[in-house]
Structure 1
Amino acid sequence: MTMSMTAFARAETVSGGVALSVEIRSVNGRNFDLSLRLPRELSGLEEWIRKAISKKASRGRVEASLALEDVRGETDRLEIDAPRARAVHRACLELKALLGLEDDITLDLILKTDLILKNGHVIRPAEPEIDMDAFEKDARACVERALADFAAMRRTEGECVRRDFLERLEGVESRMEAIGRESAAMLPHYRKRLERRVSSLAGGLVEIDPGRICQEAAFLADKSDISEEITRIQSHIEQFREILNAEGASGRKLNFLVQELGREINTIASKTGSLEASRTAVEVKSELEKIREQVQNVE
Structure 2
Amino acid sequence: MLKSMTGYGLAGFEDEAFIVSVEVKTLNSKFLDLSIRSPKQFSDKELEIRNLVSARLERGKVNVSIEFSKKSGEDLPVGFNEPLFAAYYQKYLALAELVGASSDDLFKLAIQSPNVMTQSMEKSNNAEDWEVVKKVIEEALISCDAFRTDEGEVLERKFDENLEVLRDGLKHVKIEDPIRKDRIRQRIRNNFKEWLEENDFDKNRFEQELIYYFEKVDITEEIVRLGTHLDYFEKNLKEGTGQGKKLGFICQEIGREINTIGSKANDASMQKYVIVMKDELEKIKEQSLNIL
TM-score with structure 2 setting the length: 0.80
- 1:48 is displaced (CA, Å) by 2.5
What is aligned with 2:57?
A: 57
Task: Flag the 1:69–1:197 CA change in 2: closer, same or farther, 3 A.
Answer: same
Q: Which amino acid aligns with 2:237?
A: L
Q: 2:241, 2:150 → 1: CA distance?
A: 15
What is aligned with 2:48?
A: 48
Aligned residues of 1:191 and 1:213 also touching (Cα < 8 A): no
- 1:163 is displaced (CA, Å) by 1.5
Aligned residues of 2:3 and 2:148 also touching (Cα < 8 A): yes
1:261 aligns with 2:254: yes
In the comparison of the two structures, how many residue pairs are matched? 284
What is aligned with 1:36?
A: 36
Task: Flag the 1:165–1:183 CA change in 2: closer, same or farther, 3 A.
Answer: same
Deviations 1:213-250 (A, max 9, x none): 87765543322111111222122222212222222412
- 1:78 is displaced (CA, Å) by 9.1
Task: Return 5+ residue gaps in structure 1 as ranges.
Answer: none
TM-score with structure 1 setting the length: 0.79
- 1:69 is displaced (CA, Å) by 3.2
Task: Tell me the SS of whatever aligns to 2:33.
Answer: strand
Deviations 1:242-266 (A, max 9, x none): 2222224121111111112111111
What is aligned with 1:226?
A: 219
Aligned residues of 1:186 and 1:221 also touching (Cα < 8 A): no
1:85 aligns with 2:82: yes
Deviations 1:261-282 (A, max 9, x none): 1111111100003221111111
- 1:25 is displaced (CA, Å) by 0.3
Aligned residues of 1:16 and 1:131 also touching (Cα < 8 A): no
Task: Flag the 1:293–1:235 CA change in 2: closer, same or farther, 3 A.
Answer: same
Q: 1:229, 1:298 → 2: CA distance?
A: 27
What is aligned with 2:138?
A: 144
What is aligned with 1:287?
A: 280
- 1:201 is displaced (CA, Å) by 4.9
1:194 to 177, 185, 188: 188
1:14 aligns with 2:14: yes
Task: Return 5+ residue gaps in structure 2 as ranges.
Answer: none
1:171 aligns with 2:165: yes
Aligned residues of 1:28 and 1:60 also touching (Cα < 8 A): yes
Q: 1:32, 1:40 → 2: CA distance?
A: 23
Task: Tell me the SS of whatever aligns to 1:62.
Answer: strand
Deviations 1:106-152 (A, max 9, x none): xx999554323378638x9x99xx89343333222211211111000
Q: Which amino acid aligns with 1:52?
A: L
Aligned residues of 1:194 and 1:217 also touching (Cα < 8 A): no
1:114 to 106, 110, 114: 110
Q: 2:116, 2:243 → 1: CA distance?
A: 50
Task: Tell me the SS of whatever aligns to 1:11.
Answer: strand
Q: 2:209, 2:90 → 1: CA distance?
A: 106
Q: Which amino acid aligns with 1:268?
A: I
Task: Flag the 1:156–1:67 CA change in 2: closer, same or farther, 3 A.
Answer: same
